[in-house]
Amino acid sequence: MTVEALAGPDERLPGEGTGAETSAAPSTPPAVPDAARAIGVRMLDGGIIEVLLPPNQEIDGPEARIAGDAVRALAAGRRMPVLLVITGVVGVSVEARQAYTGSIAATAFALVGESPVDRVIAHYLLRSRSETIPAQFFSSESAAVEWLRQYAREE
């Protein structure tokens, strides 16, 4: 089973209204996050949560907090391994870095990127993580998933 959510810059998940809609006035559809800026969150087979950061974007705190909420919802109170795909990301704000490293109860983090810039961003993110949570950078998503499997719990 795959469950997906997009965390957009308007701090809402797709399908969430603003709360300002009324039945008396013609309603407009709720704003859907710009797909190019949205952070994808989904459960992979084997109990690994994937967080896919949008390429060519600066990741800010509001998007990171929403993605963290989506991760916690998928984890349903359990600690799970997290695959963070950062390929092509332009930058990550301090607030976003704090949201990723402080709000997700992960058993392990695997960060995936392709370029030297991705590696620098990964090390920036890894600097603020807990030393008790294993974390590693990979240039191959399949190698990262294989490494994370050792931290997935069988249910």
Banded model confidence at residue 1, pLDDT cuts 50, 70, 90 = very low
Contacts of 116 (CB under 8 A, 6+ apart): none
Q: Which domain holds residue 125?
A: 4-9+34-149
pTM of the model: 0.75
Evaluate whether residue 114 is within a structural domain.
yes
Q: With 70 as the cut, is the pLDDT of residue 74 above it?
A: yes
pLDDT for position 11: 42
- Is residue 77 assigned to a domain? yes
Looking at residue 139, its pLDDT comes to 96
Cα 27 from Cα 127, distance rounded (Å): 46
pLDDT, tens digit, 9 for 90 and up, residues 5-55:
554 444 444 334 434 333 333 333 333 445 667 899 999 988 999 999 999
Residue with tokens 């308007």: 10
Residue whose pair of structure tokens reads 């391994």 in the numeric block: 81
CATH number at residue 74: 3.30.750.24
User: For the chain, how long is the longest CA-to-CA vector?
Assistant: 54
pLDDT at 132 > cutoff 50: yes
C-beta separation of 141 from 149 below 8 A: no
Is position 28 within any domain?
A: no
Portion of the chain with pLDDT greater than 70, in percent:
71
Mean pLDDT of 130-144: 89
Tell me whether residue 16 is in a domain: no
What pLDDT does 49 receive? 94
Give a yes or no: residue 24 inside a domain: no
Q: Is 68 left (phi over 0), alpha (psi -120 to 50) or beta?
A: alpha
3-class secondary-structure state, position 18:
coil
Residue 133 in any domain: the answer is: yes
Q: Tally the domains of the chain.
A: 1
- State phi, psi for 39 to the nearest 5 degrees: -95, 125
What percent of the chain stands above pLDDT 90?
41
The whole-number average pLDDT for the span 61-66 is 89
